[in-house]
Amino acid sequence: MTIKIEPISDAVGVSITGIDLGTELDEASYQAVHRAWLDHHVLVFPGQDLAEEDQVRFTGWFGEVGQRIRKIDSPEGSRVSHPGTMLISNIREDGKPIGSLPDGEMMYHSDGAFAKQPYRYTLLYALEVPSVGGNTLFANLHKAYDELPAALKNKLQGCHGEHIYYANNGMTGPKKSLSGIRQHPIFIAHEETGRTAIYANRLMTHKIVELPEDESDDVLAQLLDHIEKPEFIYDHKWTPGDFVIWDNRCLNHARSDFSAGERRLLRRTTVVGVDPLPAQAEAA
């Protein structure tokens, strides 16, 4: 069967059919996926049948599979075999979630932004999904940078964002046991394509380091409102068997709300990235 690539929105992303990711692929197939990933940033593979080992094997082709280093036992326990596999689920057994990030909506964020080496890629496979809600929304940070007003772009040249795990989710202080505090350039260069992207998100970006507090709050609010404009967003409604993979170097993602009375279960793996590098300043 021939691989078929079709756009899924004007903002970002393609659907890819004609490929079975549960089988051993040849190098040409992996390279075709990688090229599509660099070009389109979000890849949706519908109708896949993936065991955990299939997902981990596929993930490992694109770099070091991310690990979950925790000071307490993970809620997944023996339900997963690889230390980097996360279950994202609201399902509870004996009153305790069987996975992480169980309930409700989530603000826009980039996985691992609070780390020195944020995740390059996130790969998410749908096992059970609610009938309504629990969508994943993707914001294209290349397009957001390209269309950023010149005054704001000039203001932020050379600036860094400070990222803290769940900094803006109603928490009273940094979760240093999980993440510490990490600073990354506001404008980063994608290390493979060289394209500039905005690197800031509503959930984890705490402040703009080089600006006074009041100015930082105002400028960051303007920046985040710009990033989340509808024209930069693809809203993915999940179907069981969807395998959605995305590039954290040029995307933020969020989750819409869903009923606590419906089950949601997805399996996540990641690829370790690099310390984000600043983009070159544009000529005045």
DSSP conformational letter for 231: G
Contacts of 207 (CB under 8 A, 6+ apart): 161, 162, 213, 216, 217, 220
Strand, coil or helix: 145: helix
Give the per-residue pLDDT at 167. Answer: 61
Give the per-residue pLDDT at 178. Answer: 55
Contact 143, 182 (CB under 8 A): no
Hey, what are 276's tokens? 């984000």
Give the per-residue pLDDT at 74. Answer: 77
Q: 């890849």: which residue's tokens?
A: 43
Distances (CA, A) of 159 to 165, 176, 183, 220: 20, 23, 10, 11
Contact 89, 130 (CB under 8 A): no
Ordered by where they begin, the domains of the chain are 4-139+236-246+262-273 (3.60.130.10), 141-227 (no CATH)
Whole-angstrom distance, CA of residue 182 vs CA of residue 124: 25
Q: Is 249 left (phi over 0), alpha (psi -120 to 50) or beta?
A: alpha
Which residues does residue 97 pair with via DSSP β-bridges, in sequence order? 92
Contacts of 23 (CB under 8 A, 6+ apart): none
pLDDT in single tens digits along all 284 residues of the chain = 589 999 999 999 999 999 999 999 999 999 999 999 999 999 999 999 999 999 999 999 999 999 876 556 778 888 999 999 999 999 999 888 899 989 999 999 999 999 889 999 999 999 999 999 999 999 999 999 999 999 999 999 999 999 998 766 544 444 444 556 899 999 999 999 999 999 999 999 999 999 999 999 999 999 999 999 999 999 999 999 999 999 999 999 999 999 999 999 999 999 999 999 999 887 65
Give the per-residue pLDDT at 160. Answer: 98
Which residues does residue 132 pair with via DSSP β-bridges, in sequence order? none
Which backbone phi and psi does 239 adopt, to 5 degrees? -125, 140
Q: 């993936």: which residue's tokens?
A: 50
- Exposed / middle / buried, residue 139 (Cβ in 10 Å: 0-12, 13-18, 19+): buried
Contact 138, 234 (CB under 8 A): yes
Give the per-residue pLDDT at 166. Answer: 74
* Nearest residue to 273 via CA among 124, 143, 122: 122
